[in-house]
């Protein structure tokens, strides 16, 4: 570099262009480093004061109305983008004249720099906006994906549930039929021995155990089928005590009842409500490993709208099952009714899900309050029945004698044997069929022989064969008008709940004991 | 400005060599530009065996250590030997909450004298002026100080670079700063500053 000395430094008065040009060029370079418009304007205005003949420099964003003859206006315009103007007040127009063109060029370059900065800033703003939009979209996608995962998990659970339901239904159906056989023969055996004998006691105990097995199977069937409850008006208090005491028998947990004496009648399926009570009481017992007392209360309650979510305003029976157990962590309470949700090792996670489903199908509501270390309370609300409960005869008929011919159709031989035994003891002639086609054959043959059946009992479900409904339809088409009773292990089958809608005169749930059969036959008589 | 062309030094941020004792202004746009300049200046000074000093307002010791290490320079050795010193700008410029040009000039003169006594071939210093000078007592004497530095360097030729943050100082102040620095570091090049007013003239106009 050629280092300048004092003697060679250009004199701005002797060489009009060089020094000023140098200054203007340097200013242009520095302008790029200055951060804002304001700083740039200050810098330029101060720098241009060194131009010979310039007295004052000011910046204006807007055009000026008039300009003095000793002033000059230099526009900062490029590509029709206006970046304001510089107003130069001159002390000596002649001294300034040689530099005017340099300044015009300089102002053009300044406008270029300002325009570049403006465009760069716009790009940066767009970039920031784009990044914000991307971040927003990413969040939206993440949230949507999380929702989707939740829905997918729910769907998988539902599909699993359905699959298990189908499997459970199949197994439970077969198991139920086997239990029916055991049930029936235990019943017959207990009838054929002395009530004071030890054998009678053993048989009764076996019946109780069988009954529990039946309940378990019913729970599985209810869960797998999820069908309509067989509603009958009744007093909830009656099943509360029985089920609670039975569930807690042999445990270190006691139960205390506080059931209103004037409890309203409600419509419910005794078996299903029994399941619900069983589930709640068992859960309470498991939460109280060190023992204690479960309190069960029942009261009449008038609810306003929204007092309990999902329940309309009205009159309800409120049942509370209160334990003093470990309580449920707050973050888990919301999942408590989800299928397969369980905090118990080895638990199925179906008990409360089934209970929830049953209560909802009863047009009721179920809720829970719990806190760790403070125990749990389940609340059940059932709508008050429109019906008034009439007192039933003191004891259902213990004996029945009849005559006539009854056709029993079921795919399970053991159930056919049980039914035959029971009915023959009662005095009936019994024929059996294992499927609908066989039944129709027998019906037709007996009708033609002039000795038609008086009654038929058809199993609704015949795997691989004609079931009860189809058989009934065909039978009617054959002109055979005898009454037909529907029977099924699926207590929640709608045919069982309202048999008359399907052409049956009544229904009886499997497994049935002779008492139930007698009650049925008496009703039909 | 006249310089002693017998002793030429390398500045680090340009290939050219310059006489020792030049006074350069660096108006930087961002921290990267600032760091790039001071690292190059300091390292070239240490490589040349010069006594080198740096005034920094940020704790840059770690950065310096890392950069030195890349070049095989042991930071601690240089500090212990006195070849390199790092000082806090506020403590140097604004001791007792005021800016005193006389104190600073005395420090600079003493720095050069010591470097000669210690046998260094040359001395250099780079420092950032803080925008707080606008508010501090004596801050209005900044331009006077810079002009006097140019005078001092004639007899005490410390190669000096003054760094100014373009974001922190307004445009008018930056223009004034140009008038008291004979040379400018701009876009990696050192140029003669056409705005420079010789210190005698500048100080005479105050």
- Does the beta-carbon distance from B176 to A45 stay under 8 Å? no
B188 vs A contacts (CB less than 8 Å): none
Alpha-carbon distance B18 to A521, whole Å? Answer: 124
pLDDT in tens, A67-97: 788 899 999 988 888 899 999 999 999 989 9
Contact, B190 vs B182, CB < 8 A? no
B176 vs A contacts (CB less than 8 Å): 46
Contact, A246 vs A274, CB < 8 A? no
The pTM of the full predicted model, rounded to 2 decimals, is 0.49
Backbone angles phi, psi at A377, to 5 degrees: -130, 125
> How many CA within 13 A on the CB side of residue B146?
28
DSSP-derived 3-state class of residue A389: coil
Backbone angles phi, psi at A331, to 5 degrees: -70, -15
ipTM for the whole complex:
0.77
Contact, A412 vs A180, CB < 8 A? yes
pLDDT at position A398, please? 55
pLDDT at position B194, please? 86
Backbone angles phi, psi at A188, to 5 degrees: -60, -40
Contact, A352 vs A334, CB < 8 A? no
Confidence at A309, pLDDT banded by 50, 70, 90: low
Alpha-carbon distance A402 to A425, whole Å? Answer: 9
Tell me the sheet residues that pair with A377: A322, A369
Which helix (H) or strand (E) covers residue B56, if one does? strand B51-56
Q: Which residues contact A105 (CB under 8 A, 6 or more apart)?
A: A24
CA nearest to A509, candidates A215, A246, A265:
A215
Instruction: State yes or no: pLDDT of B40 exceeds 80.
Output: yes
Alpha-carbon distance A366 to A318, whole Å? Answer: 10
pLDDT at position B60, please? 81
Confidence at A515, pLDDT banded by 50, 70, 90: confident
DSSP-derived 3-state class of residue A286: helix
> Is B176 within 8 Å of chain A by CB?
yes
Alpha-carbon distance A21 to A4, whole Å? Answer: 16
Torsion of CA B131, B133, B135, B138, to 10 degrees: -170
Mean pLDDT calculated for residue range B131-151? 93
pLDDT in tens, A341-354: 777 665 667 788 88
Nearest CA in chain B to A36: B167
Alpha-carbon distance A87 to A81, whole Å? Answer: 18
- Shortest distance between the Cα of B104 and any Cα of chain A, in A, equals 27
CA nearest to A385, candidates A188, A262, A235:
A235
Backbone angles phi, psi at A31, to 5 degrees: -55, -35
pLDDT at position A306, please? 64
Alpha-carbon distance A375 to A288, whole Å? Answer: 9
DSSP-derived 3-state class of residue A409: strand
Distances (CA, A) of A75 to A22, A27, A69, A110, B124: 21, 17, 17, 10, 44
Residue A65 DSSP label: S
- Does the beta-carbon distance from B171 to A44 stay under 8 Å? yes
Q: Give the Cα-Cα-Cα angle A260, A263, A266 (nearest 5 degrees).
A: 145
> Is B187 within 8 Å of chain A by CB?
yes
């Amino acid at each position: 570099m050629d280092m300048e000395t004092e003697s060679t430094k250009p004199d701005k008065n002797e060489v009009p262009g060089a020094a000023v040009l140098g200054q203007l060029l340097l200013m242009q370079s520095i302008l790029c480093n200055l951060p804002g418009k304001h700083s740039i304007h200050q810098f330029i205005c101060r720098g241009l004061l060194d131009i010979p003949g310039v007295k004052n420099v000011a910046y204006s964003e807007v055009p000026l109305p008039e300009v003095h003859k000793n002033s000059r206006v230099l526009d900062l315009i490029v590509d029709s983008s206006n970046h304001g103007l510089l107003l130069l007040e001159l002390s000596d127009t002649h001294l300034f004249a040689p530099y005017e063109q340099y300044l015009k060029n300089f102002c053009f370059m300044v406008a270029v720099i300002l325009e570049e900065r403006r465009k760069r800033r716009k790009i940066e703003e767009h970039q920031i906006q784009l990044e914000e939009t991307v971040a927003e979209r990413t969040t939206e996608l993440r949230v949507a994906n999380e929702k989707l995962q939740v829905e997918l998990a729910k769907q998988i659970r539902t599909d699993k549930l359905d699959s298990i339901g189908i499997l459970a239904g199949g197994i439970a159906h077969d198991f139920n039929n086997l239990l029916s056989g055991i049930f029936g023969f235990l019943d017959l055996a207990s009838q054929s021995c002395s009530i004071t004998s030890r054998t009678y006691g053993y048989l009764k105990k076996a019946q109780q155990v069988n009954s529990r097995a039946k309940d378990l199977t019913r729970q599985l069937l209810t869960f797998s089928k999820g069908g309509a409850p067989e509603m009958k008006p009744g007093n909830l208090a009656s099943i509360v005590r029985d089920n609670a005491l039975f569930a807690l028998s042999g445990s270190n947990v006691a139960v205390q009842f506080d059931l209103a004496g004037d409890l309203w009648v409600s419509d419910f399926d005794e078996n299903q409500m029994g399941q619900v009570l069983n589930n709640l009481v068992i859960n309470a017992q498991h939460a109280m490993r060190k023992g204690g007392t479960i309190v069960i209360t029942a009261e009449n309650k008038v609810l306003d709208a929204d007092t309990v979510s999902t329940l309309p305003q009205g009159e309800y029976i409120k049942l509370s099952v209160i334990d003093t157990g470990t309580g449920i962590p707050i973050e888990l309470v919301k999942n408590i009714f989800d299928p397969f949700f369980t905090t118990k090792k080895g638990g199925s996670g179906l008990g409360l899900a089934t209970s929830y489903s049953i209560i909802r199908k009863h047009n009721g509501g179920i809720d829970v309050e719990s806190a760790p270390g403070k125990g749990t309370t389940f609340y059940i609300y059932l709508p008050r029945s429109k019906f008034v409960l009439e007192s039933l005869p003191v004891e259902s008929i213990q004996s029945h004698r009849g005559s006539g011919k009854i056709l029993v159709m079921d795919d399970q031989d053991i159930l056919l044997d049980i039914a035959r035994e029971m009915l023959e003891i009662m005095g009936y002639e019994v024929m059996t069929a294992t499927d609908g086609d066989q039944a129709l054959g027998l019906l037709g043959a007996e009708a033609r022989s002039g000795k038609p059946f008086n009654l038929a009992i058809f199993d609704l479900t015949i795997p691989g064969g004609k079931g009860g409904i189809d058989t009934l339809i065909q039978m009617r088409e054959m002109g055979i008008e005898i009454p037909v009773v529907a029977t099924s292990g699926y207590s929640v089958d709608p045919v069982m709940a309202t048999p008359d809608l399907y052409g049956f005169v009544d229904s009886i749930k499997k497994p049935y004991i002779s008492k139930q059969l007698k009650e049925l036959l008496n009703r039909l008589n | 400005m006249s310089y002693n062309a017998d002793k030429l030094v390398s500045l680090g941020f340009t290939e050219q060599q310059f006489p020792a004792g030049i006074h350069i202004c660096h108006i930087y746009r961002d921290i990267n530009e600032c760091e790039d300049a001071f690292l190059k200046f300091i390292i070239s000074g240490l490589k040349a065996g010069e006594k080198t000093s740096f005034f920094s307002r940020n704790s840059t010791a770690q950065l310096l250590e890392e950069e030195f290490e890349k070049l095989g320079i042991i930071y601690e050795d240089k500090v212990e030997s006195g070849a390199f010193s790092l000082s806090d700008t506020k403590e140097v410029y604004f001791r007792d909450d005021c800016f005193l040009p006389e104190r600073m000039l005395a420090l600079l003169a003493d720095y050069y004298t010591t470097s000669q006594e210690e046998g260094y071939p040359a001395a250099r210093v780079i420092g950032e002026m803080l925008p707080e000078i606008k508010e501090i007592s004596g801050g209005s004497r900044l331009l006077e100080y810079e002009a006097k530095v140019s005078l001092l360097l004639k007899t005490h030729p410390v190669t000096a670079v003054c760094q100014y943050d373009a974001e922190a100082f307004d445009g008018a102040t930056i223009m004034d700063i140009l008038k008291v620095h004979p040379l400018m570091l701009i876009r990696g090049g050192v140029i003669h500053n056409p705005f420079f007013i010789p210190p005698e003239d500048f100080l005479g106009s105050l």
